[in-house]
Structure 1
Amino acid sequence: MDLKLIPISLVLFRFLISPFLLWDAWDGKTTIWFLVGFVAAFISDILDGIIARRLDVSTANLRQADSWADVCLFSSVFVSAWLSYRDILIAEKLPLFIVIFAQLLWWIVNLIKYGKPASYHTYSAKLWGITLFIAIVALFGFNYAGITLWLTCIVGTIHSIEEILMTLLLPVWTHDVLSIFHALNLRQEFLKKTT
């Protein structure tokens, strides 16, 4: 197997596992296989970027596919949570509404400006991913959604605000911009080139 195919295979794995997670939760209950599949998908998300950079195959198309795989995975997890833990989610609706609103605003801003979602892979996105992992394991493994859910919603909202500001700052679609400070530097470089 060509080693350069490993990152795209890991991205493809997340696309393929997502419907199986949803299928496991369809009856309103999940099995241990849900958590096993989710943990494997989460590890694949960590590894695909690392391996892509090491093999020098971290292209814009791969990074965008990675972002879409994340959307597919976490959308499946959210629907699965709604099917299996609706009462818990309703009890914690305030932080969920805030983070969902921030994400919808993120989508709208990016689609208006670039015609497609951003693919920044910021530090805040990585932090949000860690808090999401903890919240999902707490919910599906221990039926708990208190502090862990609030924490992931707070981090997710901050992340969305940062990336909205980055989109407003950056004149053209750019992938792998690690923070708003990196976006400011890129904006200055772009302005220097155009003047």
Structure 2
Amino acid sequence: MKAKIPAVLIFSRLIIGFIIISLSLLKIENDQTIIVTLLSIGLLTDIFDGIIARYLNISTQKLRRLDSTVDQIFFISVGVAAYILCPEFFEQNIYKIIILAAAEALIYLVSFLKFKKEVATHSIGAKIWTLLLFGTLVQVILQCQSIILFNLCFWIGLLTRAEIIAILLILKTWTNDVPSVFHSIQLRKGKTIKKNKMFNS
């Protein structure tokens, strides 16, 4: 039963994402507060699914790939909900949002072209960016505006997307949980990299 907990947490994000979009469409009372609460719960499931999987020694490649895919669907769902609630923010920042989305898509294109698999590097930089993205989405949903945080999210997002592409190009074989470019170079040289038990499998 314990072995199913990480998978349950991962799939719960799909349900949460669907509920968030539904709430944004229904426009019920206090919908923004409820959506932010659900977004926070979704983030916590993202943090703890990996930690629990590593603690139970069941952090497989299949599970990590599933985690990455569901993360994408979850944050896209939240982004759609934010657009429904605050379309003016997206209209004002359309070019930066398109550039960021294109950078994210490029990661998957590079990974599929080289390894025939989706990306699942779970780099340290990507984890930091996820927290910035979370903060930006919260601010947009609650206030329908974000300037400093959004711009920080945009530039850090581009930097971390570039790092992930560099990691993918450096690696000889598909590998999940590569903390940084430095670690990808070590792997390319055939060396074993040291990973944090709490953050990397």
Please list the CA deviations of residues 110-161 of structure 1 after superposition, one character each: whole Å capped at 9, or x if unmatched.
Answer: 1111122110110011101110111011111232221111111111111111
Contact 1:28 1:83 in 2 (8 A): no
Q: Which amino acid aligns with 1:114?
A: F
| Residue matched to 1:39 | 40
Deviation at 1:27, TM superposition (A): 4.9
In the alignment, residue 3 of structure 2 is paired with which amino acid?
K
- Residue 93 (structure 1) shift: 2.4
Counterparts of 1:81-160 in structure 2 under 5 Å? 81-160=82-161
What secondary structure is seen at the aligned counterpart in 1 of 2:178? Answer: coil
Q: Deviation at 1:188?
A: 0.7
Q: Which position in structure 2 is the counterpart of 1:8?
A: 7
Aligned mates of 1:102, 1:28 — CA distance in 2: 32
Q: CA RMSD in A?
A: 1.6
Structure 2 Cα separation of the partners of residues 139 and 50 of structure 1: 29
**TM-score normalised according to structure 2 size:** 0.88
Secondary structure (helix, strand or coil) at the match of 2:174 reads coil
The answer to whether the 8 Å contact 1:26/1:83 transfers is yes
Residue deviations 1:60-89, cap 9 Å, x none?
011111111101101101111221211111
The question of whether the paired residues in 2 share the 8 Å contact of 1:95 and 1:154 is answered with: no
Do 2:10 and 2:70's aligned partners in 1 also have CA atoms closer than 8 Å?
yes
- Structure 2 match to 1:79: 80
Whole-Å Cα distance in 2 between the matches of residues 104 and 68 of structure 1? 12
Distance in 1 (CA, whole Å) between partners of 2:83 and 2:138 is 15
Displacement of 1:171 after TM fit?
A: 1.4
1:19 corresponds in structure 2 to 18
Q: Counterpart of 1:188 in structure 2: which amino acid?
A: K
1:128 and 1:159 in contact (8 A); partners too: yes
Give the deviation of 1:172 after TM superposition.
1.2
Return the letter of the residue paired with 1:185: Q
Q: Match for residue 175 of structure 1?
A: 176
Equivalent AA in structure 1 for residue 181 of structure 2: I
Q: State the one-letter code of the partner of 1:15.
A: L
2:71 corresponds to: 70
Instruction: Provide the C-alpha distance between the structure 1 equivalents of 2:93 and 2:116, rounded to a whole number of angstroms.
Output: 33
In structure 1, what is the Cα distance between the partners aligned to 2:165 and 2:93?
A: 25
Task: Determine helix, strand or coil for the equivalent of 2:110.
Answer: helix
The count of corresponding residues between Structure 1 and Structure 2 is 189
1:186 counterpart SS class: helix
State the alpha-carbon separation in 2 of the partners of residues 182 and 28 from structure 1: 46
Contact 2:79 2:137 in 1 (8 A): no
2:69 and 2:108 map into 1 onto residues whose CA distance is 12
**Which runs of 5 or more structure 1 residues have no equivalent in the other structure?**
191-195
Q: Is the 8 A contact 1:125 1:159 kept in 2?
A: yes
